[in-house]
Amino acid sequence: MTYNFDEIIDRRHTNALNTDGFRGYIFHAGPEKVFAFKDEEFVRMWVADMEFAVAPEILDALRARIDRRIFGYTGLYDDEYYRTFSKWCRD
């Protein structure tokens, strides 16, 4: 599996704390506050909010669950998950 971590996803106007909420969260300021830099020029190293696309395998799994039309509480009853996760941790 290979992923494109160079494609940047624009997070503006998605209610992302990283882009839309930092003024209030860090500076307790609204849009009227004028900074020395434009909002998009700030280096966002204060929150672990990613700006790359979700892996296609994750999107496929989410779509499959959504297509079932029910969420509810989910348990893991298959040992394959634990074997896969353990292997991933070791590798």
pLDDT (mean) for 53-60:
91
pTM of the model: 0.59
pLDDT band at 61 (very low <50, low <70, confident <90, very high): very high
- Rg of the chain over Cα atoms, rounded to whole angstroms, equals 19
DSSP letter, residue 37: S
Q: CA-CA distance, 90 to 42, in Å (whole number)?
A: 37
| Domain residue spans of the chain | 22-90
Q: CA-CA distance, 19 to 38, in Å (whole number)?
A: 12
Give the model's pLDDT for residue 36.
Answer: 92
pLDDT band at 87 (very low <50, low <70, confident <90, very high): very high
Give the model's pLDDT for residue 66.
Answer: 95
61 Cα distance to chain centroid:
16
pLDDT (mean) for 20-33:
89
82 Cα distance to chain centroid:
23
Closest CA to 40 of 10, 5, 84, 73: 10
pLDDT band at 39 (very low <50, low <70, confident <90, very high): confident
